[in-house]
Structure 1
Amino acid sequence: MSFLQVQKNIKKGILSPLYLFYGTETFLIEETIHKLINKVLTEDQYDFNLSTYEAKETPISVAIEEAQTIPFMGSHRVVIVKEAQFLTGKDQSKVEHDLKELEAYVLNPISETVFVIVAPYEKLDERKKIVKLLKSHSEVLDAAPFSDHEMEKWLDERVKKYGVQITKDGREQLVQLLGNNLVMIAGEIEKLALYVGDGGVIDDVIVEKLVSKTMEQDVFSLVDHVIHRRKQQALQVFYDLIKQKEEPIKLLALLARQFRILYQVKELTNRGYSQQNIAGALKLHPYVVKLATQQAKQFDEKKLLSFLDEIAETDYKIKTGKIDKQLGLELFIIRVLGV
């Protein structure tokens, strides 16, 4: 079930006695847990009816025993089991879990208890009986990175909470600046909403003006300026990064990553991959792939490979003391710009 649908059900009071939250977007998982707890319990019931366990440290049987305990001073109890590595193929914890007991509970959960199992991993071991049972007998949240469409819906829902709207250009600018970092996006939306006020509209100009740029975004801008031969802007971004005391070797590594993405996107595009498939193969946000596709059109594969070779050579010269690190990075940028 989608993140938005799970949250809608919780808001309406349509609750399940059993939940499975898995996936790498931990922000979505934590936010959903928070909404679930607040829907089921009042704040003064937390001490009596809310229990959280780490599966890496505590046997699942302890959590099940808690789930089977009658709620105290309330109608429901919430039991949360985090870091459930036993649902994956790589359980590195030293705790032994009685999965037979958990299987029995899944088939007959306690109606007065909301039992939540959290596995913040990309994949579960679908061959395991307990995984199959949980997926068929619980409400499942797959907290995978959003697609373009899902990100759009999530952003629209997010701004609606604050009584404001966001334009298409505003959404795209926000994602370009912050990527798929949902924690940062959520924080920036709150700030932007306060700025435009109730009933206001967040557009790309306001996003550009107010949203804090990450170093990765500055590097993205640097690459974009280099690609489009905007010499003055490219060098200005570079000098600004140096003034901020950013480490040249780290900047070089980020430049290498960005050019590598451009090469990979171009290569996969030439093989007939869709942008969505490329995003999945490279584990990138679809919007990042969209921008990289546009940038990659400016170069052929041979040129991109030559840039990567130059970065490797520059990195070698810096680390062996043959050239000053700031000078080495600056010379590389100038060569790529063709100044």
Structure 2
Amino acid sequence: MAGNRSYQQRDEEQLRYQELNQHLKEGKFSPIYLLYGSENYLKRSYLRLFREKFGGKDGMNYSYFEGNADLDTLISALDTMPFFAEKRLVVWKDSELLRRTAPERLCAYLERLPDTSCLMLIEEAADKRNRLYKLVEKKGFVCELAEQDVRMLSGWAARYLMKAGKKVRSSTMERLIERSGRSMDRLSGELEKLIAYTGEREIVEDEDVGQICTANVEDRVFDMITELSLGNTERAMRHYSDLLTLQEAPMKILALLRRSFNQLLLTKECVRQGMARNDAAKYIGVSPWAVPKLTEQAKHYTMESLQGYLSRCLFYDEGIKNGNLRDRMAVELLLTS
């Protein structure tokens, strides 16, 4: 069931991306946009594309706000008539109003937003119960730019390499993504290193990936979970400390822990049903060559313990979003209690 819901979610996300791209292609824009999620590369890319449609970063029809912006100044920007154009774009990044109560004045204003302005909210996370979220959903367009699946990343990375005159086998691409992780920022950096390393050579080989691409945060999270399964809490905390030193966000680490525990739960279900490797890979949502590694790690957990970890991940995530728990402390509690 979990696997099927996951596929449905991915299909729905792709439809939203297609609709967003159609807005850009046709130049027919919603009054309000909310772009949120963990994939910063996509958020930056869509911001750039929208900005270009409204005359560019230095254009007369573009205003940018970040963080705790002054509401009077924001409304003034939205009320300003566009210069020789139908609309102007106002972007507000990281307002955090999608996770807490938005000012009544702002919500009332957005109900009657002038049709000469387009407001784009760009956030890390959003609570779907939030009044502002529901308002944007009713009057505008909401799109979650979450971590992408392997299929989408493979196609994107192959096109990235093709523009540089490079080709890659599907098995090598899977290895690259498994090693680099699913962050498009990180993956683009690894692709640039591979392009430079291979020089005039056309084909990117497995050996190039092994030589150039460094271990990623997901590998370290995998190590954390392994240490937890063996009762080595101190070592798990050491991995966590290393990730914080590398300036990885605790919320991202918590999300990866939750995903990893869910993968292990799905892996145990695959083992119980006696699934073949390729079928198991599709069900879990990983590359086929990652299945044996997950199967080995899953042996150290019971179904009940994994369900317990998942419940706690959700509980701590809710606590962070409600402001009742600091993100760093949430991960520490998950690892030590």
Larger radius of gyration: 1
> What is residue 109 of structure 1 aligned with on the other side?
115
Residues 17 and 114 in structure 1, CA contact (< 8 A), matched pair in contact too? yes
Residues 52 and 81 in structure 1, CA contact (< 8 A), matched pair in contact too? yes
Residues 268 and 298 in structure 2, CA contact (< 8 A), matched pair in contact too? no
Letter in 2 for 1:56: N
Post-superposition Cα deviations, 1:258-283, rounded to whole Å, max 9, x if no partner, equal 999987644443346977786xxxxx
Task: Show the 5 A alignment for 1:240-255.
Answer: 250-251=238-239
Name the SS of the counterpart of 1:56 in structure 2: coil
Letter in 1 for 2:79: Q
User: How far 1:53 moved relative to its partner?
Assistant: 1.7
Aligned equivalents of 2:58 and 2:214: distance in 1? 38
Moved more, 293-302 or 19-28: 293-302
1:205 aligned residue (173, 192, 207):
207
Q: Structure 1: which 5+ runs fail to align?
A: 225-246, 279-285, 306-339
Relative distance call for 1:223 and 1:172 in structure 2 (3 A) is farther
Residues 175 and 287 in structure 1, CA contact (< 8 A), matched pair in contact too? no
Alignment partner of 1:21 is 2:35: yes
Name the SS of the counterpart of 2:188 in structure 1: helix
Aligned equivalents of 1:97 and 1:68: distance in 2? 14
Name the SS of the counterpart of 2:18 in structure 1: helix
Relative distance call for 1:116 and 1:262 in structure 2 (3 A) is closer
2:107 aligned residue (93, 99, 109):
99
* TM-score when normalising by structure 1: 0.59
Aligned equivalents of 2:93 and 2:240: distance in 1? 38
Aligned equivalents of 2:119 and 2:261: distance in 1? 46
Name the SS of the counterpart of 2:153 in structure 1: helix
2:128 aligned residue (122, 125, 128):
125
> What is residue 12 of structure 1 aligned with on the other side?
25
> Size of the alignment, in residue pairs?
262
Relative distance call for 1:125 and 1:56 in structure 2 (3 A) is farther
Letter in 2 for 1:69: T
> What is residue 3 of structure 2 aligned with on the other side?
none
2:174 aligned residue (172, 175, 184):
172
* TM-score when normalising by structure 2: 0.60
> What is residue 91 of structure 2 aligned with on the other side?
80
Relative distance call for 1:79 and 1:264 in structure 2 (3 A) is closer
Post-superposition Cα deviations, 1:217-272, rounded to whole Å, max 9, x if no partner, equal 47969999xxxxxxxxxxxxxxxxxxxxxx99724988xx9999987644443346
Alignment partner of 1:39 is 2:59: no
Q: CA RMSD in A?
A: 4.5
Alignment partner of 1:188 is 2:200: no
Aligned equivalents of 1:14 and 1:218: distance in 2? 43
Relative distance call for 1:38 and 1:222 in structure 2 (3 A) is same
User: How far 1:149 moved relative to its partner?
Assistant: 2.4
> What is residue 135 of structure 1 aligned with on the other side?
137
1:54 aligned residue (66, 71, 79):
66
> What is residue 235 of structure 1 aligned with on the other side?
none
Aligned equivalents of 1:300 and 1:43: distance in 2? 49
Percentage of matched positions with identical amino acids: 20
Task: Show the 5 A alignment for 1:125-164.
Answer: 125-126=128-129, 128=131, 130-164=132-166
Aligned equivalents of 2:111 and 2:156: distance in 1? 34
User: How far 1:208 moved relative to its partner?
Assistant: 1.8
Residues 170 and 205 in structure 1, CA contact (< 8 A), matched pair in contact too? no
Residues 224 and 236 in structure 2, CA contact (< 8 A), matched pair in contact too? no
> What is residue 267 of structure 2 aligned with on the other side?
269
Residues 224 and 237 in structure 2, CA contact (< 8 A), matched pair in contact too? no
User: How far 1:116 moved relative to its partner?
Assistant: 0.9
